[in-house]
Amino acid sequence: YGNNIHILTMKFYSVEYWQENWETLMERVENGETIGIENDNGERAVMVPADDEILRIYTEQNNEGS
Q: Which tens digits make up the pLDDT trace of 15-38?
A: 999 999 999 999 999 898 889 999
Q: What average pLDDT does the structure give for the chain?
A: 81
Contact (CB, 8 A) for 49 and 29 = yes
Q: How confident is the model at residue 3 (pLDDT cuts 50, 70, 90)?
A: low
CA angle 50/37/6 to nearest 5° reads: 60
Query: What phi and psi, each to the nearest 5 degrees, are found at residue 47?
Result: -100, 125
Picking from 6, 2, 1, 64, the residue whose alpha carbon sits closest to that of residue 46 is 6
pLDDT value of residue 13: 95
pLDDT value of residue 1: 41
The residue ranking higher by pLDDT, 49 or 39, is 39
Residues paired with residue 38 on neighbouring β-strands, in sequence order? 14, 44
pLDDT value of residue 59: 75
